[in-house]
Structure 1
């Protein structure tokens, strides 16, 4: 204070004093903002470590191993994976586009209910839909027994339906639960397309059916591409459904190569092939849309008027939209409820199941807190420093969601195993004790996998919440003397509370449902609801896992409700 007074008395101009103050404030801001930059870089590095570890481990394999994989393993696994992805991609696109167009362009009984009910299959993980239908359609199961009773057959030897354990069965079942990935963005695109485009086409004598092919679908191509890509990512990440249904995909090859054959280098090489497939899939999707530009005036955009259906057409539309909901959610949910009730009446809730439920809840809650904290750091750093470099850091921190859980878990297993060995050697040399597997044995490696895989959800949600806050609020807070941390605590966090809550819910449910990473990285004698269900289904004791499967489905309904509320608000 005295220095400033002396400079003013000495005749320094107010402009020079103001410039000095601004420079001083800028240097302090850079100093304080350094934490956010370095923390974001550290988080992005943590996401990239598994990929680097995977590449390093794959390089340790011998040349003969590469040739063996290329000759005997990869062709069959790649062929099965490509066939599965092609079938599921086509089926999800057909179902998603059809039901999205029907509920957007037409009015028929039950339409408003179906708008959100069509999202319900998202609550059923792929491994649960396979688990349910394998039990329902078993030769001695309820469905085939009922069919034989109606047709007058006494034994499965006299009559049985085709086995659901096939490529066709896998495509049908995965398509039934993954089509909402296409339905949701395509419906949003149909609703936000300018109604005047549709009205002009109608004025020119174009029927509703031709409008779909000539106007609506070309404009919705970006949404179709994005939704189908997300569904295919889920196919690549799937491990339970593919194994239950007898499809030997790349994911199954990675798991069996590591767990059954104890060949970490071979598993790493197959995982790298999967990673290249993911990169190729994303690149192909972007290349296909490289010259396409879509522009709709926000001031003129409004939903098209729905055409009321009459007679048989209205019931046909209702049936088409109801079918995927019934097959993808209603039947599995009813079957799980019935079996869970039978199991509860017979044996109650076992202590083991309660322990596994607590393990699932505690692990998911801790991982969600870590994911939200790291996502907030990355998104807030990108807001503070909107330069291109920070945008690259943000994209790097979000890469984990594009990697299947098996690839990510294998990379973390390599990195955490190496660090555990170093910790063990150091502890033995310095302290004479053996701490064991600190990271893998304690579950920290599994939490790390959840963090790397689901960080993109948190970053995207928090960034969307921060984007709605005008930057003038930041400037006003700084003018009032608040620093970066104080502005975050007093301004940004209260205003982005809804975005944080939505991100937390989505991450928590995804952590509960995650199977592939949990199978590879869980500590010994540590089970979650997902791994319990996988173990019982692998042994064929489906009735033992009904309660665990029902619990996962019930929790999975929560983000579906959130998506439905957002969709109704935007509609």
Structure 2
């Protein structure tokens, strides 16, 4: 009699991976269906009123942030990698620090200093005796101000990828260009920059993704983009169809950027003909050149990390917010609970998708992984609308049926719970966890899998006893990244949080909206402190790469 095959868990793993991909695809499908089923009246009204303004403002913001992050990220990466000047090794690590700051926290800090009643303009009026109309001062609450805040916190994406690309380049081609008569800058523009183009383009596109997803900064500065339009349509105008159609516009733009990033990354190929790559010799800078390099690399660190921390500390000391009060302890507990649960769920989902792709490589596995990664391209507001529409319909249908059948009201079983919010976080940040997991998984040789299977281990046994112990550092990194991203996330939290369930990010946004900037500094400092955890890990990795 033929023995029954022992279940090895592969089928369950496949079901879990496909289910995760389906959950990630649900918001996009729901937004599309809600938008196209809403009729053309709302679309026509949006086109006549706000759609043009949202489009122009969003594109202008994207262009400014792209140019700013490219200039700062590439310039700083080149200087600390290819030159030597006093403080270069310290600045090489410090340039990552602004990554710990949400852009809206910088917006609160700099508004406190640069706004009309702020320290700078008040001191200017006191010294000169000018009145409010006697001078011109750049307006911080503007499109340019929002772009500056985003550039300061997003340039590390470009810096990290460009620096890694420059470190990996062989000096052979650069030295050949110099031997043929090119200056150092000429060789940089003709050789080094084109070779690093795929990495730089990837970093700029990541910054653009975060720009179109940003809500806190543009909402506080009064800049009307698609992100603010979705929130206004949903909460202020109670226009669900309008919110879905605006979300579809933003989703289409985000997916187009994701497709362009994948195309440029897939086509980029570079082959070094040298058998033994020659390291790029760093140039020693002296005199005014060294001073200029120190200023160029120090200014982003100063304005992106050091000065905001100083401002926030002074603001927080003068506020009446007490972190040890029961109210604030509740905010911290809510934030940590949401971030912890979301981080664990997201990393588990990443393990399911990543290990299934390794175990059964094929169209189903690769398709599931591709769909799971799309979440990073979908702004939090779009995910919120995409999940609320179908689950609210389900809750209302179930409640109506139970009322008519059993005279029982269930209310909002799913829509009003934190679990739907956690699901939104998983969709949004699964790509980051999956990237960290796959980076560690590449260190596990295929022979280890074969040896484990030859010793009688099932696929799940191999995962539990071989992969997970080896991948513990990568999984810890993924947990920290998702944890901090959830702590900083604002638009999805604002739209989907249960009633009277506020987080530190929501409290900071609420106080800033009420112009209580001193109070907003306290939860903002806690968010920044949490954000420093993964940044410290990244800094340690940066320090070890040479």
TM-score scaled by length of structure 2 = 0.96
The answer on 1:161 being equivalent to 2:163 is: no
Residue correspondence of structure 1 range 246-285 to structure 2 within 5 A: 246-285=222-261
The answer on 1:362 being equivalent to 2:337 is: yes
Residue correspondence of structure 1 range 394-433 to structure 2 within 5 A: 394-428=369-403, 431-433=406-408
Aligned to 1:43, the other structure's residue is in SS state helix
| Alignment partner, residue 439 of structure 1 | 414
**Are residues 569 and 90 of structure 1, via their aligned partners in 2, closer, same or farther at CA, if it must alter by over 3 Å?**
same
Cα distance in 2 between the residues matched to 1:546 and 1:72: 36
Of the three residues 22, 36, 54, the one matched with 2:31 is 54
Return the offset for 1:424.
2.1
**Are residues 474 and 298 of structure 1, via their aligned partners in 2, closer, same or farther at CA, if it must alter by over 3 Å?**
farther
Of the three residues 340, 352, 363, the one matched with 1:388 is 363
| Alignment partner, residue 215 of structure 2 | 239
Aligned to 1:301, the other structure's residue is in SS state coil
Give the conservation status (yes or no) of the 8 Å contact 1:408–1:517.
Answer: yes
Of the three residues 152, 157, 168, the one matched with 1:181 is 157
Give the conservation status (yes or no) of the 8 Å contact 1:368–1:504.
Answer: yes
| Alignment partner, residue 68 of structure 1 | 45
**Are residues 288 and 396 of structure 1, via their aligned partners in 2, closer, same or farther at CA, if it must alter by over 3 Å?**
closer
Deviates more, 1:432-441 or 1:377-386: 432-441
| Alignment partner, residue 213 of structure 1 | 189
**Are residues 512 and 297 of structure 1, via their aligned partners in 2, closer, same or farther at CA, if it must alter by over 3 Å?**
farther
Give the conservation status (yes or no) of the 8 Å contact 2:342–2:425.
Answer: yes
Residue correspondence of structure 1 range 6-17 to structure 2 within 5 A: none
Return the offset for 1:454.
0.9
Of the three residues 197, 205, 226, the one matched with 1:229 is 205
Give the conservation status (yes or no) of the 8 Å contact 2:108–2:520.
Answer: no
The answer on 1:544 being equivalent to 2:544 is: no
Return the offset for 1:62.
2.5
**Are residues 371 and 131 of structure 1, via their aligned partners in 2, closer, same or farther at CA, if it must alter by over 3 Å?**
same
Of the three residues 129, 146, 170, the one matched with 1:170 is 146
Of the three residues 292, 296, 300, the one matched with 2:276 is 300
For residues 458-486 of structure 1, the C-alpha deviation after alignment (integer angstroms, 9 at most, x for no partner) is: 22221222221111111111211111222
Give the conservation status (yes or no) of the 8 Å contact 1:179–1:231.
Answer: yes
What runs of 5+ residues in structure 1 fail to find an aligned partner?
4-19
Of the three residues 302, 305, 308, the one matched with 1:326 is 302
Aligned to 1:527, the other structure's residue is in SS state coil
Return the offset for 1:146.
2.6
Q: Which of the pair has more CA radius of gyration?
A: 1
Cα distance in 2 between the residues matched to 1:90 and 1:486: 49
Cα distance in 2 between the residues matched to 1:289 and 1:478: 35
The answer on 1:500 being equivalent to 2:475 is: yes
For residues 1-38 of structure 1, the C-alpha deviation after alignment (integer angstroms, 9 at most, x for no partner) is: xx8xxxxxxxxxxxxxxxx9xxx79x656x63111111
| Alignment partner, residue 104 of structure 2 | 127
| Alignment partner, residue 78 of structure 2 | 101
| Alignment partner, residue 483 of structure 1 | 458
Give the conservation status (yes or no) of the 8 Å contact 1:140–1:156.
Answer: no
Cα distance in 2 between the residues matched to 1:297 and 1:470: 27
**Are residues 412 and 348 of structure 1, via their aligned partners in 2, closer, same or farther at CA, if it must alter by over 3 Å?**
closer
For residues 273-322 of structure 1, the C-alpha deviation after alignment (integer angstroms, 9 at most, x for no partner) is: 11111122233445567754222369633541111111111111101110
**Are residues 306 and 490 of structure 1, via their aligned partners in 2, closer, same or farther at CA, if it must alter by over 3 Å?**
same
4+ residue runs over 4 A deviation: 157-160, 285-292
Give the conservation status (yes or no) of the 8 Å contact 2:96–2:539.
Answer: yes
| Alignment partner, residue 65 of structure 2 | 88
Deviates more, 1:100-109 or 1:51-60: 51-60
Cα distance in 1 between the residues matched to 2:455 and 2:405: 52
Cα distance in 1 between the residues matched to 2:391 and 2:277: 52
Give the conservation status (yes or no) of the 8 Å contact 2:198–2:264.
Answer: no
Aligned to 1:79, the other structure's residue is in SS state helix
For residues 489-534 of structure 1, the C-alpha deviation after alignment (integer angstroms, 9 at most, x for no partner) is: 1111101101100000000000100001101100111110111111
Give the conservation status (yes or no) of the 8 Å contact 2:68–2:155.
Answer: yes
Give the conservation status (yes or no) of the 8 Å contact 2:96–2:535.
Answer: yes
Give the conservation status (yes or no) of the 8 Å contact 2:322–2:328.
Answer: no
For residues 176-214 of structure 1, the C-alpha deviation after alignment (integer angstroms, 9 at most, x for no partner) is: 111111111001101110012222222223221111111
Cα distance in 2 between the residues matched to 1:444 and 1:306: 52
RMSD between aligned residues: 2.0
| Alignment partner, residue 16 of structure 2 | 39
Give the conservation status (yes or no) of the 8 Å contact 1:40–1:393.
Answer: yes
**Are residues 75 and 306 of structure 1, via their aligned partners in 2, closer, same or farther at CA, if it must alter by over 3 Å?**
same
Of the three residues 515, 530, 546, the one matched with 1:555 is 530
Cα distance in 2 between the residues matched to 1:499 and 1:281: 27
For residues 404-431 of structure 1, the C-alpha deviation after alignment (integer angstroms, 9 at most, x for no partner) is: 1111111011122122223323543565
Cα distance in 2 between the residues matched to 1:469 and 1:499: 12
- How many matched pairs? 546
Give the conservation status (yes or no) of the 8 Å contact 1:192–1:302.
Answer: no
Deviates more, 1:199-208 or 1:439-448: 199-208
Deviates more, 1:182-191 or 1:276-285: 276-285
Give the conservation status (yes or no) of the 8 Å contact 1:192–1:301.
Answer: no
